Amino acid sequence: MNTKYPGDVHKKQRKIVAPIFSVPQLKSVTPIVYDIAEKLAGVLTGEVRTKSSSFFSKSTVAPNGYVESNRSGVLDMSEWMSRVALEAIGKTVLGYSFDPLDSPHNNPYTSAIKELIPTLFSLSVLRQFAPFLSRLGPAWLRRKLVEWAPHRAIQKVKDISDIMDQTAKGILREKQAEGAGIEGEDKDFISVLLRENEQAEPGERLSESELTGQMTVLIFGAQDTTSSALSRILYLLSTNLDVQKKVREEVLAAFVDQDRLGYEVISELPWLDAIIKETLRLYPPVPFVRRTATKERTLTYSSTTSDVVDASVTVPVGTTLFVGIAGANRLESVWGQDAKEWKPERWMSGKNPALIRLPGIYSGMLSFFGGGRSGYRFAQIEMKILLATLLRRFKFSLTQDEIIWNLSQIISPSVRRTSADECGLMEEKGLPLVVELTDAQ
């Protein structure tokens, strides 16, 4: 999670939130993720057989030799990964279904989440004034200023924020009315969070606004990044069919006598683990983060030109810093000369040089911002269950469409195509992949 509260407030929140991502709690919600993954697999099987949501259009380019049948079809896997990631986080975090997957997708919260990042990105210049505005009078005045702002994107952000806040408050109050506190037994994270909050000392408890804020951070922080990572992994497996085959064989062997694997077993599958780690390293969903210095620091350059005398720089309090996660994850000094290549096998030997040079940082990379991110274990187990379930039942391959990965606060795919009037190029959001049923179906 990435919050911007003062240090003492943040510590209080982490103390309450940390237990919901403990290993025992993750084990308890694993069956929920399996339920969602299996439902998605069933829905995709129906989509392939009926072509009810085929991504084909006049401008779609099918792969050479592709013959459409009732065992294969072209589906927008980016859309499906977005939907399943939201449903997984909704059910496990809130005990709430945002998207049953087998019906039209029209939940207003879903639309709000998908529109937030692009809208915020369009306000990059105005966002520089946010620290000043946050100190401008009481909350009601700031709200009025936003309502009066004659800017379409600002009004859209306000509407999106209202939808997310109202949804979180509604779910929280519903949970409280159901008694999801100390006496409750629900396994979803928000029920556990409410129990932890009630058991805390009065001065350590989170207010309703803090609870709803944590809910929004959990959902928003997990949905977009997870769907982006899953989309990229499916694309890379479609590009590297030999690796896809190895992962599928590993998964099929592990599931040979059972429908579901336990938390420890699926966590330790080498190839499944390797493709996730290597994708997060080379293609982090969040390519950079912005931070503000709260203390003056002196930073030493890692390398300099020969004519530089002072190899350090002082960073004053209040300085805005941009940390390049993708750049740090591709340093040849850490990862070797093949740092810019997608090579899952680098994780197979157990001799990853980054783990030696950067002890204490998750797998030697900054994809989880280098600190103890509360939800990284959940993100990993969620992706592993979803990928294992899909690879058991489907084979994925590329169309001849050109896929573009758009640089934003969160990376997302789109298709570059010739416009309808054939006078130029256009981009359409999505990741069309050929989805084929395996012999097991």
DSSP 80-120: HHHHHHHHHHIIIIIS--S--SSS----HHHHHHHHHHHHH
Pairing outcome for strands 72-76 and 432-437? antiparallel
Give the distance, in angstroms, between the CA of residue 242 and the centroid of all CA atoms in the same chain. Answer: 26
Which token pair is 241?
């069919």
pLDDT of residue 3: 43
pLDDT of residue 20: 67
CA angle 30, 223, 174 (to 5 degrees): 75
Virtual CA dihedral for 216, 219, 222, 226, nearest 10 degrees?
-140
**What is the rounded CA–CA span in Å between residue 412 and residue 396?**
19
Residue 124: other Cβ atoms inside 10 A: 9
- The one-letter amino acid code at 243 reads V
pLDDT of residue 34: 96
pLDDT of residue 1: 36
Q: Mean pLDDT of successive 10-residue segments in the chain (441 residues)?
A: 49 62 84 95 91 51 58 91 90 84 75 76 68 71 79 85 86 78 64 77 78 79 85 98 97 92 93 95 87 86 69 86 85 88 87 55 60 70 96 94 86 79 70 89 64
Please tell me what DSSP assigns to residue 415: E
Query: In 3-state terms, what secondary structure has residue 156?
Result: helix
**What is the rounded CA–CA span in Å between residue 92 and residue 90?**
6
What is each CA distance from 361 to 130, 242, 283, 368, in whole angstroms?
31, 30, 17, 9
